[in-house]
Chain A
Amino acid sequence: MIPKDLRYHKEHEWVRVSGTQATMGISHFAQDALGDIVFIDMPKVGAVVKGGQQIGEVESTKTTSTIYTPVSGTIARINADLKDHPEVVNSDPYGKGWMVVIDLSSVSEVEKLMTAEQYEAFLSTQKH
């Protein structure tokens, strides 16, 4: 359930790096904890963001949760399909449920994020 090729953030976001860009979304654990997602408030394309900053919100039938960007850069694209179909994040969090693409200001920042193994270990401490 935790793809090996991604990097993870403690707030349960994932990033996939390709060149100088990173695609990000929320993890399976996050979507499962949220339950049925009904709305995603996305940042604007062109917005300059800093790692750890709040960039949006995910609303589910149960709760509302903040989306943090794990990396710094500029929002290059957002997944417009999620506007009408936010539930895709529940069904495919690592694929069609991607949220934004960020032009990275520093590729090395990604190195600070957790690997799949580290995230799995981290999750085991989160279980209640």
Chain B
Amino acid sequence: MSKHIAILGAGPGGYVAAIRAAQLGARVTVIESHALGGVCLNWGCIPSKALLSVVELGDKVKKGADMGLLVQGPVSYDLARMVARKDQVVATLVKGIATLFKAWNIEHVQGTGSLRDRQTVVVTAADGSSRDIHADAIVIATGSSWPNLAQFPIDGQQLLTSKHLLDLDRMPASLLIVGAGVEGCEFAALYSGMGTKVTIVELMARVLPLEDADISSMMERELKKRGVEVVTGTTVERLERSPATVTAHLKDGAQVAAEKLLVSVGRGLNSRGIGLEQVGVQTGRRGEILVNEQMETSVPGIYAIGDVVGKVMLAHVASAQGKVAVENITGHHATVRYDVIPAGIFTLPEIGRVGMTEQQAREQVQAAGQNPDTAVKVGRFRYAGVGKAQATGDTTGLFKVISESSSGRILGVHIVGAHAADLVHEAAMAMQVGATVTQMAEMIHAHPTLSEGLMEAAEDVEGKAIHQARKRAQ
């Protein structure tokens, strides 16, 4: 008889796990209290990209006159229509998941799930009624939630999370963003693009502090070009609120007043209230569920995937973990490779990255007793040197390839510029199969494409980029 798998949560981890489990012959029940697709699809990646794509188009049209495209009147944004279209995009994709569930005979139970024992999930519906679901294995995919810090009491009016900012009906005159991580920078690009006066405050010394330093500094300039006030190396000490304005008093003594404030720091993990203690599932210091390489928790038969395991909080990692969990449940053997995880940051322009930053690469070789100046080689190439970029007017951007000198192994690739998040996958594939930087450079790249920039950056590792002036000897 086929196994019955119960999955808590239908985000990009849970719904993908459900479909893969069904493909592998399991009977699947998915418990979801909100919407199919989870945060990513409903209040995250997809809606933000749907809105950002409009500003991206607006930016292009604004440059139109220089390129010979004449449009009557200035570019302006109809936020209500943008939001309506975004909702439509989301609805289409949510419906797509429901259709797939139906096709695979996956049962979708609306409600909040909690573990009663190793093989039972209690589901409580919105009306208070509850039912037990018995399963041979359980996958916890409850994800993470918006910040909820005492210092920033979210009210949905003045103090907002990214969820609120995706559904505003009116453009705020000014917006203060606390935290210049991925989400903070994406919303800074989005709202400044629509004409809101944006200030972004980051505790660390640079925006996108986890990204490669070259990418960070380039993004900081791009934000400044859009008129974003970038304040780094400080934090909000206290807020002063009036009905019309929120004023942030910063640690460095400065003050920033804005109509609205986006809290973009500290997502919480959804590991509470789901009965983990009841069945003895162990969690770590941050509340993350501890799992082994097969995504199994401390309790045999109970697996956990996605944000709630606190490893890499990305939708596509959750999906990969979900597939691995159900492969193992159904008797196959699978593990997740964490060294090659491409990721996109949807700022304007966007960022694509995979592997280590230059600093991480240098630290790694240094820890191995090597001299980072010689053990790590870096190649760079600017979008402006790519023919296609000149032709389309997307000349702002940079390709950066980081490699290990001794082996030629690619350690990391970072791209900022048009289509960066798509372009980075060639590098991810090269890393996945263990290709060297020379192999990447020697592969013929079609002309005219932006991908040529990656080839040139790979060539530049050995100082052989064709469309780059010779470097002066130091």
Contact = CB atoms under 8 A, between A and B. Distances in A.
Interface of A: 38-39, 41, 57, 59, 61-64, 128
B285 interface: no
20 contacts: A38-B396, A39-B221, A39-B224, A39-B225, A41-B220, A41-B221, A41-B224, A57-B217, A57-B221, A59-B221, A61-B382, A61-B384, A61-B395, A62-B382, A62-B384, A63-B382, A64-B217, A64-B218, A64-B221, A128-B472
Closest 6 CB pairs of A and B: A61-B384, A128-B472, A39-B225, A41-B221, A41-B224, A39-B221
Interface string B346-388: 0000000000000000000000000000000000001010000
Contacts of A38: 396
Contacts of A61: 382, 384, 395
Contacts of B384: 61-62
A78 to B, nearest CB: 13
A75 to B, nearest CB: 16
Contacts of A41: 220-221, 224
Contacts of A62: 382, 384
Contacts of A64: 217-218, 221
Contacts of A128: 472
A124 to B, nearest CB: 15
B380 to A, nearest CB: 10
Interface of A is mostly: strand
Contacts of B382: 61-63
Interface string B459-472: 00000000000001
Contacts of B224: 39, 41
B192 to A, nearest CB: 14
Contacts of B220: 41
A20 to B, nearest CB: 27
A57 B214 CA distance: 13
A128 B472 CA distance: 8
Contacts of B395: 61
Interface string B395-406: 110000000000
A57 B25 CA distance: 59
Contacts of A63: 382
Interface string B182-219: 00000000000000000000000000000000000110
A62 B384 CA distance: 7
A128 B218 CA distance: 28
Most buried by A among B220, B221, B396: B221
A27 B315 CA distance: 49
A41 B395 CA distance: 18
A62 B468 CA distance: 9
Given A61-B395, A64-B218, 5 more contacts: A38-B396, A39-B221, A57-B217, A61-B384, A64-B217
A114 B123 CA distance: 79
B248 to A, nearest CB: 18
Nearest to B398: A64
Contacts of A57: 217, 221
Nearest to B214: A64
B388 to A, nearest CB: 15
Contacts of B396: 38
B198 to A, nearest CB: 16
B418 to A, nearest CB: 15
A65 to B, nearest CB: 12
B73 to A, nearest CB: 21
B281 to A, nearest CB: 50
B460 to A, nearest CB: 13
A128 B217 CA distance: 29
Nearest to A36: B384
A38 B384 CA distance: 12
Interface string B206-246: 00000000000110110011000000000000000000000
A34 B185 CA distance: 28
A78 B396 CA distance: 25
A22 to B, nearest CB: 25
Contacts of B225: 39
A59 B395 CA distance: 12
Nearest to A57: B221
Contacts of A39: 221, 224-225
Nearest to A59: B221
Nearest to B472: A128
Nearest to B380: A63
Nearest to A38: B396
A62 B472 CA distance: 15
A6 B217 CA distance: 32
A64 B397 CA distance: 11
A63 to B, nearest CB: 7
A99 to B, nearest CB: 15
A64 B225 CA distance: 14
Nearest to B395: A61
A59 B224 CA distance: 12
A62 B225 CA distance: 17
Nearest to A126: B472
A39 B395 CA distance: 13
Nearest to A63: B382
A57 B216 CA distance: 14
